[in-house]
Chain A
């Protein structure tokens, strides 16, 4: 079943741009990225689009389709009516380079700010031993493909450019949770999460979880547990008193 799909694609760069209308052939079983490739091959050879695996595993083709942050390779065309206009724009939280390609270097800067896995000082490589039951919480977060859709949809930085300096975003707060829950990580992640990476900005509206193509429960399994761990340290006088007594004893 083939039809002419109506597409509106944002074309432009940091200087400006606009939504341009196209009619492109759509075949059964295709995804939005297939149609964007056909558009590039038949009508707009200079259309810039970032992609790689076409299988939802590389996290390259992040964009906004009808206003929703999605991977173009995982958005099936049969989810739209044949006469529906499909609007494709670049992610709106990051600076645009050209057309559908954005500069996501904000995320790499934030990634570098999270200290790497820190084993206890007396453990040498090769001596790490841990049980599956202790690492499986962290393993959920290892499914992340770094598509940065969660970063794109998070209103803390999407709607407030000024917060980018003090907020690392759900992807990197999840990375901190992954390390904090790791049985052999010895670094103090909780203080850093609150004071350096802006965990307190998160108001747990769960948009990061909604858009995650890997279906990671970012809010319930990473951000809220981290908030509770921070509450242990900073906002719970009973835990504070208990720790004080235990240290004295």
Chain B
């Protein structure tokens, strides 16, 4: 029996979609970007090296905070919380779990993933290939409702990243200094915070859950602020993805000795 748009009673049109525009381009582009990031991040976290530049105190966000005994000297500026990790376990596993969890459960990335990776659907009014559909009601997808916990985690990691950013003002002679790495790290920080604060869970927590804004004027102001950022959440999500990769790659290149940092001051 015919299903979907050709179900009995509906107009029997034959073609699955009559869209004439390049509807496949956007999901393809986003899918390639997401796949690239997943591969890049996986390779990087298993490398367990080239994440710290001792001369300028640059620490890549993918390894921040570095809190195991396996971390190179200087990179554990928050102390050593764990012993040495076996070689097969990335010692940035906690950072990776929180940040991947935040992005993986994010409403924007859910949309992007459903469209680009699961074709559910690829584009509006384009049929999905799945025979049945249960949405986010059953395990494992019901766990996406835990987005708010990853948001709390991302807030903590965001603060730690700011601390890393402050330490990155480290000059050649040990005093204050600014290099291209510092600038890249701070650009990344700005977009990471814009992405985190424009989050839908953040919008709900600061005030969205209220029924009467008039009784909570301060929370209403927070909610209004987040509501202004929220429409650009997807843009911030994609920009911050690139800035994280750029920051990590630049620090990896410095740490590996492929490049030397362009110093702007000291």
Residues of A whose CB lies within 8 Å of any CB of B are: 10, 12, 14, 16-17, 19, 64, 66-69, 84, 87, 89-90, 92-96, 102, 131, 133-134, 152-153, 155-156, 158-163, 181-183, 198, 200-207, 210-211, 217, 220, 224-225, 227-232, 234-236
Contact = CB atoms under 8 A, between A and B. Distances in A.
B111 interface: yes
Contacts of A163: 133
Given A133-B213, A204-B110, A210-B124, A10 B200 contact: no
A92 B10 contact: yes
Given A64-B125, A92-B11, A183-B212, A235 B110 contact: no
Given A92-B5, A228-B208, A235-B145, 11 more contacts: A67-B126, A68-B19, A155-B120, A159-B5, A183-B212, A201-B136, A201-B137, A203-B136, A204-B114, A229-B204, A232-B209
B83 interface: no
Contact of A220 (B115, B127, B135, B231): B231
Contacts of B140: none
Interface in B99-149: 107, 110-111, 114-115, 120-121, 124-128, 130, 132-137, 141-142, 145-148
Interface string B9-23: 111110001111100
B135 A202 contact: yes
Interface string B212-227: 1110000010000000
A67 B220 contact: no
A94 B10 contact: yes
A220 B146 contact: no
Interface of B: 3-5, 7, 9-13, 17-21, 107, 110-111, 114-115, 120-121, 124-128, 130, 132-137, 141-142, 145-148, 200-201, 203-204, 208-209, 211-214, 220, 230-231
B61 to A, nearest CB: 27
A67 B20 contact: yes
Contacts of A84: 20
B120 to A, nearest CB: 6
A67 B12 contact: no
Given A134-B212, A156-B135, A205 B111 contact: yes
Contacts of B21: 66, 68
B4 A133 contact: no
Contacts of B214: 131, 133-134
A96 B110 contact: no
A96 B12 CA distance: 9
A206 B120 CA distance: 12
Contacts of A134: 211-214
9 contacts: A67-B126, A163-B133, A204-B111, A220-B230, A220-B231, A227-B145, A228-B204, A229-B209, A236-B148
Contacts of B128: 155, 159
Contacts of B10: 92-96
Nearest to B215: A134
Given A87-B18, A159-B128, A228-B204, A14 B5 contact: no
Contacts of A10: 11, 13
A162 B20 CA distance: 28
B211 to A, nearest CB: 6
Contacts of A155: 120-121, 127-128, 133
A67 B209 contact: no
B134 A201 contact: yes
